[in-house]
């Protein structure tokens, strides 16, 4: 696995706005394990907006697949991948002005 690409928070926000517009709820991200695409609104709908672009929205949906069983089976999600778990596969690191870093999913195409 390659190292995550790093973006400053300002660069990350600019890319999100360029791709999806000003409404953060409409920004879409792709899970690095199952390939499922979800918007921030999807995470809000399941009551976990704090996990948007960090853990697969499938962790809180009834139709989710087991990430261990279906790992890397693209298109079979949503899964139950957690960005903060043992395997950290999030491909983007967002660096904030205070130096803290947060891992994130890639933006969806």
Q: What is the pLDDT of residues 37-76, one digit of tens each?
A: 999 999 999 999 999 999 999 888 876 665 555 555 555 6
Q: How confident is the model at residue 29 (pLDDT cuts 50, 70, 90)?
A: very high
Question: Which ranges of 21-98 would DSSP assign to H, the alpha helix?
Answer: 40-45
Long-range contacts of the stretch 26-29 (C-beta < 8 A, 24+) = 27/53, 27/107, 28/107, 28/108, 29/53, 29/104, 29/105, 29/106, 29/107, 29/108
Task: Specify the number of domains making up the chain.
Answer: 1
Across residues 99-105, what is the average pLDDT?
96
Domain limits for position 31: 5-16+24-107
């Amino acid at each position: 696995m390659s190292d995550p690409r790093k973006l400053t928070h300002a660069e990350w926000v600019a890319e999100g706005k360029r791709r999806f517009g000003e409404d953060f709820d409409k920004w879409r991200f792709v899970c690095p394990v199952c390939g499922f695409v979800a918007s921030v609104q999807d995470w809000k709908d399941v009551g976990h907006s704090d996990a948007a672009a960090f853990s697969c929205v499938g962790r809180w949906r009834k139709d989710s697949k087991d990430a261990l069983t279906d790992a890397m089976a693209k298109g079979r999600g949503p899964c139950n991948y957690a960005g903060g778990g043992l395997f950290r596969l999030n491909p983007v690191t967002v660096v904030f002005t205070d130096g803290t870093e947060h891992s994130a999913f890639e933006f969806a195409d």
